[in-house]
Chain A
């Protein structure tokens, strides 16, 4: 569904991505793991058109989307839940969700999707009119996921959705990801929490200072000695 070939990104003099090649097949969860600063976020930001690559190609459903504007990429079906949630703190929960559906015109369907999201996150329903900035960290993460789903993406990219959440909530977030996936979504997931991510992923890539150093089916990577040592903190 999504294909990246030899993607390179520079931030000024910093060579953040040094030729990344990866693929996200339809109806799969693919995860990208790696240490801080490896270039995970940069990869997703390049896909969304927030940073422009200096070389390489990104194709989505066969169409070249390299260098396209963010708005068009989102309209084309790729939605990113950015690192740090980035909910609109000055908007209500409901308004945040409406923003997710900004490009859509199908009022009836939007309403239905809103209902589904409130089903998925009953806590958001109770807080419909609350300013999003006053939500707890976990609630904000749910709002960020809900808001992204409101755009009805074909590919959902999540940048560390479990960041800063209590262990119980982390589990909940992973359950939600699994749920969304079971409903037929294609997901590209970044996680610090490599163990959990590799558990639910069909396929995984390990990123190290701008390069992919390992790849394979999620469970296989989870069992790989090198990965276990470097990212799972196990001998």
Chain B
């Protein structure tokens, strides 16, 4: 491998890792707070992408208006899913909410197929966002810079929210103990909604950037990235926000490097995620940054 292709691979790995990290946060935050694997999270990528697609191509809105609207719509959808499908089951056995999540996921996917058509559509790439950059001997897409930068900004913002604000402290408190949090006058529902809003918003941004990077969308487009990001969240230690970020980057970088260094293994690209997951869980069952809070009773 030449230096150029190596650098190219690094850049690709960072971009893919960024996308994984953004989407993985939604899984980990929701799990942290209501112990639910939100299967519908994956489909939010699809919803955001289609919303942006229709905004630009059908309603002829400026690209940035479409993107913003798509983020808003996806966030509202994420919050609504919690209200309609999860909240009524909050005191039910956990498996019920899990089944509900799978149901919502299938519903969104099949609604997508029926309403939007199963055939893939080309995702528009506004030239203000996606252009070619030539630097020395290498050329790359502007996305190689835009995606990591936006991701970095959002990751910093999420960390600030979770660690420094009162809402963030409340999120962590609620994730520990609903009842006691409510004894501190914390409105648990509000905190849960905030969590879903943050997770869904990030998924929307991730979904749109995903579609810019791989500009073809279809109603099932969220399934594989969603699965990978879920793996990233588990790898990092589900419930831990920095864990999801680390897991996302390890997975993205590892996948790209595997294909780059050993092209003959590229068919195993998707299996790679599972192998890494198994290896990590063998040595650290709780994930890389899995919670292991000391507790005395």
Q: Does A173 interact with chain B (Cβ within 8 Å)? A: no
List, in ascending order, chain B residues with CB within 8 A of A217's CB.
none
A131 and B294 within 8 A (CB): yes
The answer on a CB contact under 8 Å between B180 and A102 is no
Pair A91/B172 contact, Cβ less than 8 Å: yes
Q: How many A-B residue pairs have CB under 8 A?
A: 78
In the bound complex, residues from chain A placing their C-beta under 8 Å from that of B5 are none
**How far does the Cβ of B91 sit from chain A's closest Cβ, in whole Å?**
13
Nearest Cβ on chain A to B195's Cβ, whole angstroms: 15
Report which of A86, A102, A134, A137 forms a contact with B177, defined as CB distance below 8 A. Answer: A86
Residue of A nearest to B296 (CB): A137
Q: Are A82 and B180 neighbours in the complex by a CB distance under 8 Å?
A: yes
Chain B, range 31-81, C-beta contacts under 8 Å to A: none
A-chain residues with CB within 8 Å of residue B295 when the two chains form the complex: 89, 133
B-side interface residues toward A, CB under 8 Å?
A: 166, 169-170, 172-173, 175-177, 179-187, 291, 293-297
CA distance A80 to B180 in the complex (A): 9
Q: Which of B177, B183, B184, B293 contacts A131 (CB 8 A)?
A: B293
What are the nearest 5 A-B pairs in CB distance?
A103-B185, A74-B185, A86-B180, A70-B182, A133-B293
CB pair B186 A102 closer than 8 Å = yes
Instruction: State the Cβ distance, A94 to closest chain B Cβ, in Å.
Output: 10
Contact of B297 among A84, A100, A135 (CB under 8 A): A84
Bound complex: CA A133 to CA B292 (Å): 10
Query: Does A42 belong to the interface (CB within 8 Å)?
Result: no
CB pair B296 A99 closer than 8 Å: no
Contacts A90-B172, A91-B173, A102-B166 known; A147 to B293 CB distance under 8 Å?
no
Q: Does A71 contact B (CB under 8 A)?
A: yes
In the complex, the answer to whether A90 meets B297 with C-beta atoms within 8 Å is no
User: Is the pair B176, A90 in contact by a Cβ cutoff of 8 Å?
Assistant: yes
- Tell me which residues across on chain A come within 8 A of B186, comparing CB atoms: 71, 99, 102
Task: Give the residue name and chain of the A residue nearest to B297 (CB).
Answer: A84
Contact yes or no, A91 B176, CB < 8 A: yes
